[in-house]
Each structure stands twice: as structure tokens, then as C-alpha cells.
Amino acid sequence: MTLALESDAPGVATRGVWLTCIDCGEQFAPFEAVRYTCDDCGSLLEVRYDEYPTFDAFEGSGVWRYSAALPFEEGVTLPEGSTPLHAVPRLEAEIGVNNLRVKHEGMNPTGSFKDRGMTVGVRVAQEIGVDRLACASTGNTSAALSAYGARADMETLVLLPAGKVAAGKVAQASLHGARILEVDGNFDRCLDIVQDLTDRGEAYLLNSLNPFRLEGQKTIGLEMFEQFEREEGTLPDRIVLPVGNAGNTAALYKCVRELRRSGAIAEHEVPKLTGVQAEGSAPMVEAIENGWDHIERWDDVETIATAIRIGNPVNAPKALPGIRETGGTAVAVSDEQITTAQRDLAEEGIGVEPASAASIAGLRKLRREGVVSDDEDVACLTTGHLLKDPDAAAAAGSDPEPVPADTEAVLDHLGA
Ligand SMILES: *Cc1c(COP(=O)(O)O)cnc(C)c1O
Ligand SMILES: [Zn+2]
């Protein structure tokens, strides 16, 4: 018997993996040192491989079904992925598209897609050999990192904007044993600070600035394509998703580029990536509408959709070309439109937090404007679970009606 000696550690992909700067093209070894951005020019890094798989390379379930497209064979898992692609016949008819499917990422172990990034990211942290993990978060990143850090038996530090994180998310970070710092400032300030801390070697950064997070999140696209193909016999023409730091937008763009590269999909099968932001927090929409190749940071941001209350989307340099090159667009919706969409999804049995409903709200707006046509097959991404933000759900829903503890009185109340 011979042992596979291609890599120094078990479970590391045996094919070539490296990091490349998206601006200057400089290449770096992936696990030898802690590195989030390019040493030479400071721009974002992207994970590259010497081979890209087609769909027949995938087996098993969840995120690790797609290990042929990832830097490892397996990761720190709870397990994550294998989320449903719901049919929503009433919304499909009302919005008026050929097919509408909802990929509910709120069905991941900690209730958001962030788990897909963490199963890979925390595995990388083990590979590099760091002992403390950190992130800034609007909530879900901290919930996911706390759970995956706990699973890996690593110390976790999270920085949250004080008073702006939904209750369910803080509760998760707290119970999974993270050290929680409440910062008197918004998310973007939290990220500035955690970047300073990680630059000084205090912890390993697991925000979506970390290119390995996006590798895990790329599997949303792979999984959605397989489901859509199986259930609708085609691939979606358009993917609509909420945008915060634009990590998912970047990850989906990378997903389709890699599938193009391996020949798994044809040029005409590339879905139009369509980003949705809240009106009070829409720097990506501003950049797309003005044809800018960069975003201008918004210092004051506000929206009920706290998960996307972000004024400085760090992955914009990766995401803006993705939206443009796929023929997609970006659109801003009001908090009222978000709440309406949250109710509409709930009426189809799908419980999401406000940021997630932005995808449906954005699709509805674009369809009314005629940007989306009635013959399109559309997949909307819902990013987080209803229970993440119980206050928003209760405010959007109907109020409980107090009744006496007596059957006759209850019947009276019901008007029977
Ligand atoms: C993180 C998050 C987003 C934003 O995703 P990006 O990849 O940062 O654009 C949207 N919705 C929810 C529920 C999230 O947790
Ligand atoms: Zn560079």
C-alpha cells in the first residue's frame, strides 16, 4: 500500500491551490502565512486551482459534496448546505415570471449561508495553525463563526455594532461561547477595527474579505444549479440576492466563471447576477447606476434589514464586474417593500429575516419596471432564517389576541 504524499496534511486537496491578487496578479502560497490581501498592492485575493471540475465530479451531500471545487476534501462541519429550493407558486404568478424558486439558505445549521463559508474558513485556520478567530458582524457571521469555532475548539472574538444586531444572532454568539465586543459604531467601523487587530496578529480574520469564506459560499451556486436543473430541467436565467458586503455576489460570480472554465455550463447559461440593497444602505446600487468601477463608502446607513446595513461593501471590486459581465443589475428597495416581501414569503410557508426578503422585493420592483421579463426563470436567495430577528417578524406579523381560559369565551371571541 502506498500513502498519498502530494500534500503535507490529510484532507488537503491534492491538486494545486494558490492565492492570486485580483488586481496585480501576484500569486501566494495558500496556507504558509496569514494573508487576507495582496502584499504588493493591497487589493483582494482570490483562491485559484489548477483544475476546475464539471458536475460529474461531485458526490455526497452538503457543502462537501463540492470538495472537487474546494481547497480541502473535508472541513469543520455541522454539517451545512443541502438547503431547499422552494417552489412559490403564488408569488411566481403574482410577480409574473416563468419560474420562481427560492433557495432558502436560512436552513443551514446556524440559520444563514454564513455556515458555508465558515466550514471552509475554520478548516483553513486549522491548517495555518492559528489559535484565535475573529470577525466583525451584523450578526450572522458572528453566529456562524461562534458555532464553527466551538466545533473546532478554538477561541472566538466577535465585534458587533451596539444595538444593531437582531436578538437571535447575539444569543447564538453568546451561547456558543464567543467573546462578544459591542462597538459604539456601525458595522463598517467594527470591520475597520477587526482588520487592525488581525493585521497585528491578534486573531485570524473570518469576514468575507478572507477569500476562503467565498470558496464555501460558492457552493450555493453549485447546489442551486443542480437542483434547478433537476427540478425545472434548465438553469436559472437570473439569480437575485441581497447584498451587504457583496461576498455572495462575488462567490456566485466565481462559481459561474469556474463552471465556464471547466465547460460545465455554456455562455448562454450564465445567470444574470442581480443584487438588492436597502434604500438606506445602497452603495453598490449607486455604483452600478452610475457606471462606476468602485463604490463610494456611505458613512450613515439605516435599514430594518440589519444584515445588509453596510456602507462599505469590501467585496465590491469582485462583485461589480460579476454583476456587469453577467448582464445583471442592482436595485434598491424600501424597508416597507422588504417587510411586504417578508410577509409574502411567510404566506408560502417560508420564514426569513428581513435582509433575505430584499431579494423578492427587488425582483418584484425590477419586474414592474420591465427590467426582468415575464419569460425568465429566476432563483431568489433568502439568506437567513425568520427566527434570527424575532422582533422584526413579530412587528410584520399579526398580534396575539388575549382570551380567557374558557372554551365558550374562546368560541365567542372567534365569533362562532
Ligand atoms: C451576511 C448576510 C447578507 C449579506 O451577504 P454579503 O455576502 O455580505 O453580501 C445578507 N443576508 C443575510 C441574512 C446575511 O446574514
Ligand atoms: Zn496585488
pLDDT greater than 90 at residue 312? yes
Q: How many residues does the chain have?
A: 416
In a domain, 79, yes or no: no
CA 28 to centroid of ligand 2, rounded, Å: 10
Residues 240 and 373 in one domain: yes
19, pLDDT greater than 70: yes
Do 122 and 40 share a structural domain? no
Instruction: Check whether residue 204 and residue 139 sit in a common domain.
Output: yes
Is 408 contained in some domain? Answer: no
Looking from the CA of residue 251, the nearest atom of ligand 1 is 7
258-311 pLDDT, tens digit per residue, is 999 999 999 999 999 999 999 999 999 999 999 999 999 999 999 999 999 999
The alpha carbon of 328 and the centre of ligand 1 are apart by a number of angstroms equal to: 18
pTM for the structure as a whole: 0.95
Q: Does 156 fall in a domain? A: yes
pLDDT digits (tens, 9 = 90+) for 355-364: 999 999 999 9
Give the annotated binding-site residues for pyridoxal 5'-phosphate. Answer: 140, 244-248, 383
Quick one: pLDDT at residue 4? Answer: 36
Whether the per-residue pLDDT at 11 is higher than 80: the answer is no
Confirm whether 58 is domain-assigned: no
Report whether pLDDT(8) > 60: no
Q: Which residues contact 396 (CB under 8 A, 6 or more apart)?
A: 339, 342, 343, 346
CA of 192 from ligand 2 middle (Å) equals 20
Question: Is any ligand 1 atom within 6 A of the Cβ of residue 217?
Answer: no
Q: Are residues 5 and 35 in the same domain?
A: yes
- In terms of Cβ atoms closer than 10 Å to its own Cβ (0-12, 13-18, 19+), residue 236 is buried
Look at residue 61 and tell me if it is in a domain: no
Structure-block grid coordinates of residue 128: 495555518
Residue span of the structural domain in which 182 resides: 114-209
**CB of residue 142 inside a 6 A radius of ligand 1:** no
Domain shared by 152 and 267, yes or no: no
Q: Are residues 137 and 171 in the same domain?
A: yes
User: Residue 56 falls within a domain, yes or no?
Assistant: no
- 254 plus 325 within the same structural domain: yes
- Residues 342 and 218 reside in one and the same domain: yes
* Residue 161 reports pLDDT greater than 90: yes
Claim to verify: residue 271 and residue 225 sit in the same structural domain? yes
Q: What percent of the chain lies above the pLDDT cut of 90?
A: 96
* Ligand (nearest to CA of 386): 1
| Residue 106 belongs to a domain | yes
For residues 334-338, give the mean pLDDT.
98
pLDDT of residue 15: 73
**Residue 305's domain is classified under what CATH number?**
3.40.50.1100
CA dihedral 220, 280, 357, 362 (to 10 degrees): -80
pLDDT at 14: 61
Ligand 1 close to Cβ of residue 242 (< 6 A): yes
Domain count of the fold of the chain: 3
Our answer on whether the CB atom of 221 is closer than 6 Å to any ligand 1 atom is no
Q: Say whether both 240 and 161 belong to one domain.
A: no
The answer on 178 and 218 residing in a single domain is: no
- 167 occurs within a structural domain: yes
Q: Is 112 a pocket residue for ligand 1 (Cβ < 6 Å)? A: yes
DSSP 186-222: -HHHHHHHHHHHHHTTSSEE-STTSHHHHHHHHHHHH
Q: Average pLDDT in the 380-409 region? A: 97
Average pLDDT of the chain to the nearest whole number: 95
Is the pLDDT reported for residue 205 higher than 90?
Answer: yes
Grid cell in block for residue 157? 472574538
Please check the confidence at residue 157 and state whether its pLDDT lies above 70: yes
Q: How far is the CA of 303 from the centre of ligand 2 (A)?
A: 34
Residue 416 has pLDDT above 90, yes or no: no
Indicate whether 307 and 291 sit together in one domain.
yes
